[in-house]
Amino acid sequence: MKLIRILALILLIGLLSVSCKPDDLNQKDIKEETYENIYDNVDDDIEINENIDEETSQFKSFFEDKLGYRLSDLSSENKKEFLIKFEKNYKIREKEDYYTKRANLHIAEVAQKLRTLGYEIPMLNFLDVAMHLKQHISAKEYNKLLKIAKDIVEAESNYVDTDAGLEADNIINQFGLSGHAVSSNINGEMVQLGLYSVKNGKITRNTLDTYIDNDKTIKTDKIHQKIWDKITQIIPPKYQNMISKYEMGTDAMYNLTGAVDVLKDKSWIIWIDQNDLIEQNGSFNTYGIGTIIHEMAHIISLNTEQIEENSNDPTLYKVDEGTLKKEAYLNVFYHKFWEFLIAEHEKIGREKFYKKYEKDFVTEYASSNPREDFSESFRYFVIEKKPTDNSTLSQKLLFFYQYPELVEVRNYIRTNLKENEY
Ligand SMILES: [Zn+2]
């Protein structure tokens, strides 16, 4: 549960913080901060049992599962050091419930060393960036990067969103790095593997990401393209056109598989964990396909066509994105299936609520709130046969059949995919 909240926070920082603050960092406000005095006596280090099981280690999850390298290629001395530092990062986080400066330092040191060993490692935090670029930037710029690293840790520990990372852009863009993207890589738990712009159904790799400029020939990774092609078989052109960014990332296996979010210009970004979608043999799994359908349902229900910007009508269902129009799918869904239950849901909490109404939901996750119920039910509407009974659960699936355009979306997906894919 804790991890989910933290991941959600990372996502918020990574995906939502798109509003640009003016650069209000006056030179006179910058204390002369050096690497040494920022990271001295700020956090206690942590004692860990140094006999770490490689198989279940945090470092293996990062190095092998996320980046695709092999632990067995490292010398035993290096491997031991990396295992310990990643474990310390994890334990500090577990104890403090946020990333501390000390945790940042452990991770940055591993990243630095791996790069000197020839591995391509994305920038894992702003301390990592500062350390890496120290020789190439002025002392003032170096200090600013350290301050950003510190600000982000402090914002995290106070549970506030921050776009401090964006302040790094004028220093780091020239090296191929994006402040926004580095912010979402916090300590390698969630790693960005590629960021693309989407236009007319085609993806183009962004020039700025979290990898330092080396061979930036704007390559489109084969796996990223393969997943995008699958997305276009699932999401019809109308909704594809609402997506302007496509981000490939990865966290722990089957933790977060996909996400969508609205950007400042009201277009959408879709985030996919590439390691959760494709099996060893190269085929897509039904879990990944289902996730894409679920995420699309968020776009279908929460895009600008569905939202009334300035509405005070209290009878309409309100979401973070605004107030839904009267005829909006989710507004109708809400009034039919949730309005009379929402007070009870709030009162007794999801767990008890689900226990009581289990048979009315396609999955436990669907009982989180109306928008997740909408997306989960939509997923079942697409993958299941048309129900013939009149249970609440079936009514939720039948709900979508009253909209010919949604039946068309269902047909689009079922025609494009092979039957064993969904
Ligand atoms: Zn969802």
Task: State the pLDDT at residue 191.
Answer: 85
pLDDT at 189 over 70: yes
Cβ neighbours of 82 (radius 10 Å): 25
More confident residue, 45 or 266: 266
Q: How far is the CA of 93 from the centre of ligand 1 (A)?
A: 26
Q: How far is the CA of 182 from the centre of ligand 1 (A)?
A: 24
Name the amino acid, one letter, at 9.
Answer: L
Q: 37 falls in which pLDDT band (50, 70, 90)?
A: low
pLDDT tens digits along 295-324: 999 999 999 999 987 788 889 999 988 999
Report in angstroms the alpha-carbon separations of 138 from 29, 82, 177, 346: 17, 30, 17, 53
Mean pLDDT to the nearest integer, 69-94: 92
Task: State the pLDDT at residue 24.
Answer: 39
Q: How far is the CA of 194 from the centre of ligand 1 (A)?
A: 22
Task: State the pLDDT at residue 325.
Answer: 96
Q: How far is the CA of 376 from the centre of ligand 1 (A)?
A: 8
- Listing DSSP states for 402-415 in one string gives T-HHHHHHHHHHHH
Task: State the pLDDT at residue 32.
Answer: 53
Task: State the pLDDT at residue 40.
Answer: 54
Task: State the pLDDT at residue 115.
Answer: 93
Q: How far is the CA of 375 from the centre of ligand 1 (A)?
A: 6
Q: How far is the CA of 372 from the centre of ligand 1 (A)?
A: 5
Q: How far is the CA of 51 from the centre of ligand 1 (A)?
A: 39
Q: 216 falls in which pLDDT band (50, 70, 90)?
A: low
Q: How far is the CA of 337 from the centre of ligand 1 (A)?
A: 18
Give the containing element (helix H, strand E) for 9. Answer: helix 2-11
Q: How far is the CA of 330 from the centre of ligand 1 (A)?
A: 13
Report in angstroms the alpha-carbon separations of 109 from 84, 144, 174, 372: 12, 19, 23, 40
0.75 cut: is pTM over it? Answer: yes
Task: Match 């279940």 to its residue by tokens.
Answer: 56
More confident residue, 418 or 406: 406
Q: How far is the CA of 253 from the centre of ligand 1 (A)?
A: 18
The pocket of ion ligand 1, defined by CB under 5 A, consists of 375
pLDDT tens digits along 383-412: 999 999 999 999 999 999 999 999 999 999
Q: How far is the CA of 135 from the centre of ligand 1 (A)?
A: 44
pLDDT at 2 over 60: no
Q: How far is the CA of 286 from the centre of ligand 1 (A)?
A: 16
Helix pair angle (370-383, 404-416), 10° resolution? 60
Domain ranges in the chain are: 57-186, 190-284, 307-421
